[in-house]
C-alpha cells in the first residue's frame, strides 16, 4: 500500500537541510522512511514505509522541535484537475473522508508554497478561504472543539493536497509565516528578525518577564541598531557593543549606551537580563561566545544568529547547538532552548537559550 506523504514547508533553497532534519527526526524514533525534495520548491515530502510508522511519526512531530521546518501536515488526499467552475464540491467530498469521529478539524488553512509559482497563488488562496470555510461549516466538517487543523496546499489553482496536523504541534499560521510590518523609524530591516524571534522562540510568559521597562540588555555587533531598536521599544536599557556608528535617533532615546569595544571579548561587570547577537562571524565562534556568556552567568536569556555555510548547513547548526548544550551540561546548569530558521532570516538561523539562574536585582 502506498503511503501518503508528510509535507514540510521550508525556505526555498533549504530543502536539503529540511530533508536531513526530518530524516534525523524519524531515525530518532526508529521510523523507516525517505524524503523527496525538489530544489528551490520550499517543500519536502517524507514517505514512511508503512501505516504504523506514519501514525507514529504523526504523533511524534512537533513544529517546536524542528529548525528548518516552517509548517507541516500529513497528507490524506491529493486532488488533481479540479473543475475551475466548482472546486469546492470535490474538496468537501475529500474532507468528509479525511475527517472522522476521531479526527475533527477546528480550522482550515488554505496555503501555498513560498516559491515563485506558489506566491502567484497567494491572492487565489486568500480569496478562496472564506467561501471554503463557509461550505465546510455548512456541511459540519469543522468543529470548534476539534483537536486538528485542516490543510489545503494548492500547487496550482486546480491541484491541491489535503491533510491534517494536531493543533499546537504545527503552526497555526498559513504557511507557518509570521507577517510583520517594518517600522519606518527602525535603523535597519534586521529589526524584523528579532521581533519575529520574540514571537516565535519565546513564550508569552517569558516575553512578559524579560521585555519590560527597567530590565537590562546587551547587543553584540549592534550597529546601526536594528536589534537594539526592538529592545528599546520594550523599555530595556541597552548596552550596544560595536565599533561602527549607531543610529542617532536611537541614541537620542537615552536608553542606549554605545561602547566601541570588541564584541567577541567584552563582558559586563554585572549580569544582564538579555543578550542579543547578530554578528557576521563563523557560527562556531558565535556559539562558543554564547556558551561563555551563559556558563559564566552573564545573562539569563540569549537570542543570537548563526550565519550558515553554503554546504552541510543542518550539520553545522546541530554541531553549534550541541556545543552550547554540552558546555551548560558540563557545568550542571539547567537551561532550555529553541531555534528556528525564521521567515525573516536568510542564510542563518536564530536561536534562543535561557539559563535558569537566580533573579537579578
- Written as nine digits, the cell of 107 is 480550522
Residue 88 pLDDT exceeds 50: yes
Q: What is the pLDDT of residue 361?
A: 46
Residue 359 pLDDT exceeds 70: no
CATH 3.40.50.150 residue ranges in the chain? 191-355
Just list the catalytic residues.
307
Architecture of the domain made up of 6-176: 2-Layer Sandwich (3.30)
The pLDDT of 201-213, averaged and rounded, is 95
Q: What is the pLDDT of residue 1?
A: 43
Residues 6+ apart with CB under 8 A from 212: 234, 235, 236
The pLDDT of 79-85, averaged and rounded, is 94
State the sign of the Cα–Cα–Cα–Cα dihedral 311, 294, 273, 358: positive
Share of the chain above pLDDT 90, in %: 93
CATH 3.30.70.2810 residue ranges in the chain? 6-176
Q: How far is CA 242 from the centre of its chain?
A: 28
pLDDT in tens, 4-45: 999 999 999 999 999 999 999 999 999 999 999 999 999 999
Q: What is the pLDDT of residue 101?
A: 75
| Entry pTM | 0.93
Going from the C-alpha of 258 to that of each of 219, 292, 303, 351, the distances in angstroms are: 10, 22, 19, 24
The pLDDT of 137-150, averaged and rounded, is 95
Q: What is the pLDDT of residue 126?
A: 95
The pLDDT of 135-146, averaged and rounded, is 95
pLDDT in tens, 220-267: 999 999 999 999 999 999 999 999 999 999 999 999 999 999 999 999
**Residue 1, class by beta-carbon neighbours within 10 Å (0-12 exposed, 13-18 middle, 19+ buried)?**
exposed
Residue 85 pLDDT exceeds 70: yes
Q: What CATH number is given for 191-355 in this structure?
A: 3.40.50.150
- Can you state the percent helix, strand and coil of the chain, rounding each to 5? 35, 25, 40
State the sign of the Cα–Cα–Cα–Cα dihedral 115, 118, 123, 127: negative
Q: What is the pLDDT of residue 358?
A: 60
The Cα–Cα gap between 143 and 355 comes to 40
The pLDDT of 173-189, averaged and rounded, is 95
pLDDT in tens, 106-116: 999 999 999 98
Residue 210 pLDDT exceeds 60: yes
Whether 227 contacts 194, CB under 8 Å: yes
Amino acid at each position: 500500500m502506498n503511503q501518503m506523504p508528510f509535507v514540510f514547508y521550508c525556505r526555498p533553497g533549504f530543502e536539503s537541510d529540511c530533508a536531513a532534519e526530518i530524516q534525523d527526526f524519524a531515525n530518532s524514533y526508529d521510523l523507516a522512511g525517505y524524503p523527496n525534495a525538489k530544489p528551490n520548491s520550499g517543500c519536502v515530502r517524507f514517505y514512511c514505509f508503512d501505516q504504523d510508522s506514519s501514525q507514529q511519526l504523526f504523533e511524534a512531530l512537533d513544529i517546536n522541535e524542528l529548525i528548518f521546518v516552517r509548517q507541516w501536515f500529513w497528507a490524506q488526499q491529493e486532488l488533481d484537475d479540479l473543475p475551475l467552475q466548482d472546486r469546492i464540491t470535490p474538496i468537501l467530498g475529500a474532507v468528509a473522508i479525511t475527517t472522522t469521529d476521531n479526527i475533527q478539524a477546528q480550522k482550515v488553512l488554505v496555503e501555498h508554497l513560498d516559491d515563485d509559482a506558489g506566491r502567484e497563488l497567494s491572492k487565489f488562496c486568500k480569496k478562496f478561504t472564506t467561501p471554503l470555510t463557509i461550505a465546510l461549516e455548512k456541511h459540519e466538517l469543522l468543529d470548534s472543539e476539534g483537536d486538528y487543523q485542516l490543510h489545503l496546499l494548492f500547487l496550482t489553482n486546480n491541484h491541491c493536497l489535503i491533510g491534517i496536523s494536531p493543533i499546537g504541534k504545527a503552526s497555526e499560521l498559513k504557511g507557518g509565516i509570521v507577517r510583520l510590518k517594518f517600522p519606518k523609524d527602525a535603523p535597519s530591516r534586521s529589526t524584523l528578525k528579532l521581533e519575529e524571534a520574540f514571537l516565535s522562540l519565546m513564550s508569552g510568559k517569558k516575553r512578559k518577564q524579560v521585555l519590560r521597562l527597567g530590565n537590562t540588555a546587551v547587543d553584540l555587533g549592534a550597529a546601526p541598531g536594528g536589534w537594539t531598536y526592538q529592545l528599546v521599544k520594550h523599555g530595556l536599557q541597552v548596552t550596544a557593543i560595536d565599533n561602527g556608528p549607531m543610529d542617532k535617533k536611537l541614541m537620542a532615546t537615552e536608553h542606549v549606551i554605545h561602547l566601541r569595544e570588541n564584541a567577541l571579548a567584552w563582558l559586563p561587570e554585572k549580569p544582564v537580563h538579555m543578550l542579543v547577537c547578530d554578528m557576521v562571524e563563523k557560527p562556531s565562534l558565535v556559539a562558543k561566545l554564547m556558551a561563555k556568556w551563559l556558563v559564566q552567568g552573564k545573562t539569563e536569556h540569549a537570542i543570537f544568529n548563526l550565519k550558515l555555510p553554503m554546504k552541510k548547513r543542518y550539520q553545522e547548526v546541530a554541531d553549534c547547538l550541541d556545543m552550547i548544550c554540552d558546555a551548560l551540561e558540563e557545568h550542571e546548569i539547567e537551561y532550555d532552548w529553541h531555534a528556528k530558521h525564521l521567515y525573516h532570516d536568510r542564510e542563518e538561523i536564530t536561536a534562543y537559550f535561557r539559563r535558569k539562574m537566580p533573579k537579578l536585582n
